[in-house]
Structure 1
Amino acid sequence: MTPETHARLTRLRHDLHQHPELSGDERETAARMTELLQGFGADHVLTGLGGHGVAAVFDSGQAGPTVGIRCELDGLPIQELGTHPYVSKVPGKGHLCGHDGHMAMVLGVAEDLAHQRPVNGRVVLIFQPAEETGQGAIAFRADPQFAKIAPDYVFSLHNLPGLELGAVELCQGSANCASRGMKIILTGKTSHAAAPQDGVSPARAMSELMLQLAGLGEGGALDSDFALTTVTHARLGEPTFGVAPGQAEIWVTLRTVSDARMQTLMTEAEALACRAASADSLEVEITYDDVFEACVNHSDAVSIIATACADRGVPFHSTETPQKFSEDFGQFGKGAKTAMFWLGSGQDHPQLHNPDYDFPDALISVGVDVFVAAIRSLNG
């Protein structure tokens, strides 16, 4: 990548950074991507996939594999506290996970394809909505338009604070944990605070259940039996001194390495909730949100990324330890060979979702180089 191209993509990234949109509301960001992709001469640009998703197709017209490169459109509902001149202009919202940088990389791939089109097969550049909620990849793949671009391979990356700047980490097998948000509502009956015996309070069940849920999964080694349960929110009754509570709500995040272990953990957590409710004559309602299945890399796709890194002189190492945080990219592995890899943001860089996080611009050229090398190995 020339210094001029890197500077142009950096300016674009800074502009995207100033205008974040939340999951499901990425309308203007998607329109911007569509305009730019059309300018790079994509043969087809599909819009509205699974919400505001965009897909640009570069078709050689010859037989060969369809290779997808995926990035994310959405920002986060976090107030940015950075001091750089391109901080978010939208109060309470920020690109504090680096999706602005990921978009800049994939646009860099589009620019490369504009100058050197694939020799065989197709390349599909995927701009996915709603990654942060776990709903985007599911909706994107479920969209009827997806059948037109169904890929054979899909590659994606995520920048990773704590890893050496510009280095790649590749995971064999499970790359990201499965996770889901479990909401438990316990319902009894309110009463006057002077006569709590005349009501049915969920207070004891709630307090005991919070401890029991936390004890179900205490983390440890990231192996097949790994389980972590994190109570993230709790509410008891209403903020008043005159009413004994009649309802309680607990939110807990369940996290495992595999989908099979997740099913077991869900069964265990649901059983605890039902026993706690039954013991105190409470009704119980259980729902799930922010559902992420495990992200599992395919060995063939991992080999392609490893070779691409070697070809472009990008330092990398292989690991069998997945990341604890979740990614909905795993959905693309249903029907395609996929690999998610990690690109180091620096060992002392602010963590993802921190209010002072900012994507390192030096990574743009590295990501473009690895993606382009992977494409050339499959599509010429």
Structure 2
Amino acid sequence: MKEQEIELLTSFRKELHRHPELSGEEVETASRVISFLKPTNPTAVHAGIGGNGLVVVYDSGLPGPSIRFRCELDALPIVEQNTFEHKSENGGISHKCGHDGHIAIVAGVGLHCKENPVRRGKLTLIFQPAEETGYGAESMLSDPKLVNFLPKRLFALHNVPGFETGTVICKKDVACPASEGLIFSLEGKTSHAGQPEKGNNPAPVMAAIQLKAQELHDQHWQNQNRTKITTVMMDLGGRAFGVNPGKGLIAFTLRSDSNEELASVRSELVSFAKAKCDVAGVRLSMEESDPFKAVINDPDTFDAIKWAAVSQGLAFEVAETPFPWSEDFGRFSEVTSTGFFGLGAGLASPELHHDTYDFPDELIPVGIGLFLELGKELW
């Protein structure tokens, strides 16, 4: 791309960084993307899909391939500790996962179309809301307006600190694990701490559930699906030494390379919790949160990503295991052929979700080049 185009995209990225929005609240972010891409003369712009989702289409009107690229719109509830000029202006919210950079890359593909219109087939750019919470892809796919835009092939990338800048990291089959948050709320009966026999403290049940979760974790995580259960929160009573608490809460993150294995382990843990609560006379209620499906790379999309990296003169690394974090791209893997890859953000880059992280702007032209190579049949 031309130097002035890269400068424009870098400026746009920093504008997005200054004005981050949380999952499900990306109204202004979507509006900024629309304003940026309007001069590129897209065939159609479809806003408000699945909430604040956005689909931008460049259609040649002629037969040919249909290729889609997707990025994320949302930021995180993290107080930024950086002091640079483009620091977040929205208190307690910041782009600490690099979604501002991903938006700039996908928008850069649209910018390319301004002087290089699609010659055959159709290019679709998907800007997804609520990736961080795991609800955005489902909300878009549940929106009837998206039916006409479901792709045969859909690509996405994510920057990855800890790898040399510009290195492409990809894995066949499972690229990111499935995960889910599971919250157990237990209600027994409060009493005086001097008369615990007159109450029903859920502590023993909570302890049993936690031990069962650890047992399942130890039993499963070393297997081929690397299933894990992490206890993320326990809440019972307080600094009130005269009170025998009657309510408690325990929460877990379940993670697995297999959607089916995750469902199986979840079912086993839930059944155990229900049985323990029934015996103890404790009322149990459950809440699910942050559901993510496993991201699957088809063999053909993996090969296409590898070829794009080699063609762009970039280092290509085959990942031995999936990325450790989940990614709300997996829901798309259930309905179409998906290709997901990492793009090295530098060995010295702060980790994702760290309060000093900032997307490295030198990745913008690299990411655009990869996407243009993946979509070269269109031009």
Using the TM superposition, give the Cα deviation of residue 342 of structure 1 relative to its aligned residue in structure 2, in angstroms: 0.2
Deviations 1:35-57 (A, max 9, x none): 22222110100000110011100
- Secondary structure (helix, strand or coil) at the match of 2:156 reads strand
Compute the displacement of 1:142 (Å).
1.2
CA distance in structure 1 between the partners assigned to 2:354 and 2:220 by the alignment? 24
Alignment of 1:103-252 (within 5 A): 103-218=103-218, 224-237=224-237, 240-252=240-252
Query: Post-superposition shift, 1:220?
Result: 8.4
Q: How far 1:221 moved relative to its partner? A: 6.9
CA distance in 2, matches of 1:237, 1:39: 58
CA distance in structure 2 between the aligned counterparts of 1:218 and 1:11, rounded to whole angstroms: 48
- Give the AA of the match of 2:42: A
Identity of aligned residues (%): 39
Distance in 1 (CA, whole Å) between partners of 2:32 and 2:354 is 26
Q: Secondary structure of the equivalent of 1:328? A: coil
In structure 2, C-alpha distance between the alignment counterparts of 1:366 and 1:328, rounded to whole Å = 23
Moved more, 275-284 or 89-98: 275-284
CA distance in 1, matches of 2:3, 2:233: 47
Structure 2: which 5+ residue stretches go unaligned?
none
- Cα deviation 1:140-186 (Å, max 9, x = unaligned): 11111101212111100000011111100111000000000011111
Is 228-237 or 252-261 further displaced after alignment?
228-237
State the AA in 1 paired with 2:30.
A
The residue that corresponds to 1:273 in the other structure is: 273
Change (3 A) 1:44 1:219: farther
Once the two structures are superposed, what CA deviation does each residue of 1:7-28 show, in whole Å capped at 9, x if it has no partner?
2211111111011000000000
Partners of 1:193 and 1:311 lie apart in 2 by 70
SS of the residue 2:126 aligns to:
strand
Amino acid at match of 2:145: Q
Q: What is the Cα deviation at residue 241 of structure 1?
A: 3.5
Comparing 275-284 with 45-54, greater Cα deviation is found at 275-284
Q: Does structure 2 conserve the Cα–Cα contact (< 8 Å) formed by 1:173 and 1:320?
A: no
Partners of 2:219 and 2:71 lie apart in 1 by 29
Q: Which residue does 2:355 correspond to in 1?
A: 355
Mapped pair 1:88 → 2:78: no
Residue identity opposite 2:78 in structure 1: I
User: 1:363, CA displacement in angstroms?
Assistant: 0.4
Q: 2:74 aligned with 1:74, yes or no?
A: yes
Using the alignment, how far apart are the partners of 2:84 and 2:218 within structure 1? 38
Equivalent residue, structure 2, for 1:366: 366
Return the letter of the residue paired with 2:151: P
Q: Is the 8 A contact 1:172 1:320 kept in 2?
A: no
Q: Which amino acid aligns with 1:171?
A: K
Task: Please say if residues 257 and 294 of structure 2, whose CA atoms lie closer than 8 Å, have aligned partners that are also in contact.
Answer: yes
1:76-106: CA deviation from partner (whole Å, max 9, x where unpaired):
0010111322111111100000000000111
- Residues 219, 226 of structure 1: 8 Å contact kept: no
- Give the Cα separation in 2 of the matches to 1:22 and 1:243: 38
Aligned alpha-carbon RMSD (Å):
1.6
1:195, CA displacement in angstroms? 1.5
CA contact (8 A) 1:224 1:261 kept: no
1:219-274 Cα deviation digits (max 9, x unpaired): 98776331111111111135533331111111100000111111121122113312
Q: Which moved more, 1:321-330 or 1:269-278?
A: 269-278
**Alpha-carbon distance change, 158 to 218 in structure 1, aligned in 2, over 3 angstroms:** farther
Residues 1:304 and 2:291 are matched in the alignment: no
Moved over 4 A (4+): 218-223
Name which of structure 1's ranges 330-339 and 147-156 shifts more when overlaid on structure 2.
Answer: 330-339
Q: Is the 8 A contact 2:221 2:227 kept in 1?
A: no
Distance 1:317 1:221, change over 3 A: farther
Question: Judging changes above 3 Å, is the alpha-carbon distance between structure 1 residues 221 and 319 closer, same or farther for their aligned structure 2 residues?
Answer: farther
Letter in 2 for 1:252: F
| Cα separation, partners in 2 of 1:218 and 1:4, compared to 1, 3 Å | farther
The amino acid across from 1:351 in the alignment is: E
TM-score normalised by L of structure 2: 0.96
Aligned 8 A contact 1:217 1:229 in 2:
yes
Of residues 258-267 and 153-162 in structure 1, the stretch that sits farther from structure 2 once superposed is 258-267
Deviation track 1:297-318 (CA, whole Å, cap 9, x = no partner) reads: 1111111111111111121122
Q: CA deviation at 1:320?
A: 4.2
In structure 2, the residue matched to 1:6 is: 6
* Aligned mates of 1:344, 1:276 — CA distance in 2: 46
Q: Are the aligned partners of 1:213 and 1:272 in contact in 2 as well (CA < 8 Å)?
A: no
Q: Distance in 2 between matches of 1:264 and 1:8?
A: 49
Q: Which amino acid aligns with 2:147?
A: A
TM-score, structure 1 length as denominator? 0.96
